[in-house]
Amino acid sequence: MAAERRLKSSRFGRVSQLGRLAGGIAAGMLGEGARQLASGNRPALSDMLLTPSNARRVGDRLAEMRGAAMKVGQLLSMDSGQLLPPELSAMLERLRGDACPMPIGQVGTALKASLGDDWQKAFRRFHFEPIAAASIGQVHRAELRDGASVALKLQYPGIRASIDSDVDNVATLLRWSRLVPEEIDLMPLLEEAKRQLHLEADYHQEADRLIQFGTHLGDDERYQLPRVHPHLSAETVLTMDFLDGDPIESLVDASSVERNRAAADLLQLALREVFDWGLVQTDPNFANYLFDRRSGRIQLLDFGATRAYPDACRSALGDLLRAAVDGDDADLVRAAVAVGYLGEGDPPPYRLGVIRLLRTAAEPAHMASFHFGESDIAQRMRDVVMKLRLEQRYARLPPTGVLFLHRKLGGLYLLLSRLNARLPVGQLLAPWLDRSLA
């Protein structure tokens, strides 16, 4: 975990951080320009801006600021189409799970503000060292007076009030620094960053989403959810049972039977979220899944990034799935337009590229057994996207809700690849291929 730093909660303090970052980038430009001139080169502005040191400056400062600054980085890393500079892509990727924890004194102050002056009386023991830190808050382990082990999710001070201004300031910085290509329209992502952050900063809503998931799962013994403790929860604190399973990646050392069973459970859960419930936990972080070897259950954590998808969207996604697997090109185009991958006036070469992309994504459904660990589908899909954007000079970002599904399914694909899973994907998809979702 990164070294702890006191989070600046005032608007002036956070703007000053961005100001220092802009100054650092400018200094880096001057230094790179001087080096290039000394070598006899006449550098372009982009050459001076897109240096490894400037990319590190941006990534480090966004990680330190957390909140909206960090979320913009996460969203940009979610669907950059490999058009960002490699150094910046690497730093943005790091933002998915890297943040600087609060100092102990700030933790105590935040808990006092949320739970009252006597907050410590509810606990037999409280661990001030966080077990996780991310963009919105950090997680602490504690023991209640009755000996029960709980996890407290504690929001960083000032995050909610800083969301809109932070997003706008970071967007200005990225545009000014030209670290994001001009052809990428940031506005939909920026508005989504604001909306998503306001949702994630609402711990009452996260508790509700967790309860909703429990209702949907019912008595399904394959999964376990933490129980919310309402009397120790507030707008900026969420207290839940502590689940002590092993990291989901620990299954790489398990038998193929156990790995494939867990992988099938993960895939079926994602399909139920999208097509049955319309309630999707969109954060693909591996740390949100644990495996309890005693019971064989997958433990599910962190519902702050949960999104609701209306019936019309679920129906359109179902039509797209069926068209990609079993339909002709006309079916696939109609479904892609309904979801937002295509527009009625998109040029034919771009339309053909999207068809090829969706057909590639559907290949596992046609195999008796798909080996995630040996597949090159992800790379081939990236190649199609690169060709579309570089050769056609035309790109249509799908709706932000669909982008979050990319995030979900892309993270799941990486996890199943890590588990070296081999699954009958078509068989697992069959319940949703054989029925209408209207």
Q: Is the dihedral of CA 132, 133, 137, 138 positive or negative?
A: positive
Which listed residue (60, 79, 98, 283) is catalytic?
283
| Residue 292 dihedral angles phi and psi, to the nearest 5° | -90, 105
| Residue 227 dihedral angles phi and psi, to the nearest 5° | -90, 135
Write the CB contacts of 283 (distance below 8 Å, at least 6 apart in sequence): 302, 304, 305, 407, 408, 411
Bridge-based pairing of strands 223-224 and 297-300 is parallel
CA distance 250 to 290: 9
Going by C-alpha positions, the residue among 56, 57, 58 that lies closest to residue 73 is 58
Output the CA angle 348-426-380, nearest 5 degrees.
45
CA distance 160 to 223: 32
Contact assessment for residue 270 and residue 406, using Cβ atoms and an 8 Å cutoff: no
Residue 240 burial (10 A CB sphere; 0-12, 13-18, 19+): buried
Residue 438 burial (10 A CB sphere; 0-12, 13-18, 19+): exposed
Going by C-alpha positions, the residue among 135, 162, 143 that lies closest to residue 70 is 135
Give start and end residues of each alpha helix (H) in 228-328.
256-271, 311-326
Is residue 118 flagged as an active site residue? no
158-193 burial, b at 16+ Cβ within 10 Å, e below that, comes to bbbebbeebbebbbebbeebebbeeebebeebbebb
Contact assessment for residue 237 and residue 153, using Cβ atoms and an 8 Å cutoff: yes
Q: What kind and span of H or E run contains 127?
A: none
CA distance 230 to 219: 22
Contact assessment for residue 50 and residue 87, using Cβ atoms and an 8 Å cutoff: yes
CA distance 52 to 56: 6
134-146 burial, b at 16+ Cβ within 10 Å, e below that, comes to bbbbbbbbbeeee
Residues noted as catalytic: 283
